[in-house]
Structure 1
């Protein structure tokens, strides 16, 4: 049973992507039926823009996840790799979060247009994560800080100790 793990991951990814597809379709159908069908008198061009934005977010995230989950085959047609493991974190997790936030925003915007403000969480989180990366490249502001005598002596002692190197005792025979 070679490649049993790859087959299992391929099947899990297929099942997972089908579930995501169903969630996206159900969210869009509910939005269109309720917002455009039932509340048609309040359905304006802004709602069409909102539908285009959410559909674009769904499309881009789903396509990226689908390309990550796609299994790889050899020239003979044998399964080589089952695709990316969707249960791991990283980009896959962020794409799932965007899909779920989009679903929530789309369905709750049926009740009130103020729920669109929840979409601000996505760029806010991106700025938060990006700031940590940018902060690593900025120079640290410790050059202008004066250190007292005790701290200076302790630092010099530690530097001297580190420069000596470590000696290892050999066991005599």
Structure 2
């Protein structure tokens, strides 16, 4: 049972990467079949340029996830390196969000047409919102570390227990 966690991580990463590649293949084949064969009359050169330009982040992210997440094994089947956790929080989670949204835009654009590429503009807006909320959380954390949290805000350092008791009408503290 040596390296049980590494083996589990390697198995999980291999399954995730396989599913990712198959999904990407299916979505891009859907676009190719529908745009090249079915809706050929409505396709222009800009359709193909938009497709290559706006799907390139999905390809780059997929390549990056493959590079960091693919486990390597020795010839006898031992796990040499299990790869990074592809279900990790933070940047990896954000990369998955961008990948899923890009796939959705490709799928909608293959069915609806070129106007669906405007959906791709949500990704930069999401990035700005994520940066703002991350900065806001960091700012609150820094204020708490400096001693500027709840104790100074309520003006007296009353504990939560004391506040609840006073709210219920229980033991009221008399200050002299």
Give the alignment's TM-score, normalised by structure 2: 0.68
Is 1:36 aligned to residue 36 of structure 2? yes
Change (3 A) 1:89 1:133: closer
Larger radius of gyration: 1
CA distance in 2, matches of 1:106, 1:14: 25
Count of aligned positions: 141
The answer as to 2:88 corresponding to 1:88 is yes
1:14 has 2:11 as partner: no
**Aligned mates of 1:104, 1:39 — CA distance in 2:** 19
Aligned to 1:128: 129
Per the TM alignment, residue 46 of structure 1 is displaced from its structure 2 partner at its CA by: 1.4
Unaligned runs of 5+ in 1: 138-153, 159-173
| 1:39 to 1:72, Cα distance in 2 relative to 1, 3 A | closer
Query: Residues of 1 paired with 2:19 and 2:58: CA distance?
Result: 13
Kept after mapping to 2: 8 A contact 1:27/1:103:
yes
Distance 1:3 1:134 in 2: 38
| Partner residue, 1:4 | 4
- Structure 1 residue aligned with 2:148: none
Aligned to 2:2, the other structure's residue is in SS state coil
Q: Distance in 2 between matches of 1:60 and 1:69?
A: 14
- Residue in 1 that maps onto 2:116: 115
Runs of 4+, deviation exceeding 4 Å: 132-137
Q: Give distance in 2, aligned partners of 1:133 and 1:4.
A: 35
**1:25 — aligned with what?**
25
For normalisation by structure 1, the TM-score amounts to 0.69
1:18-70 per-residue CA deviation (whole Å, 9 max, x = no partner) reads 11001111111110111121111111111111220243122210111112213
Contact persistence 1:109–1:116 (CA under 8 A): yes
Give the alignment's Cα RMSD to 1 decimal.
Answer: 2.7
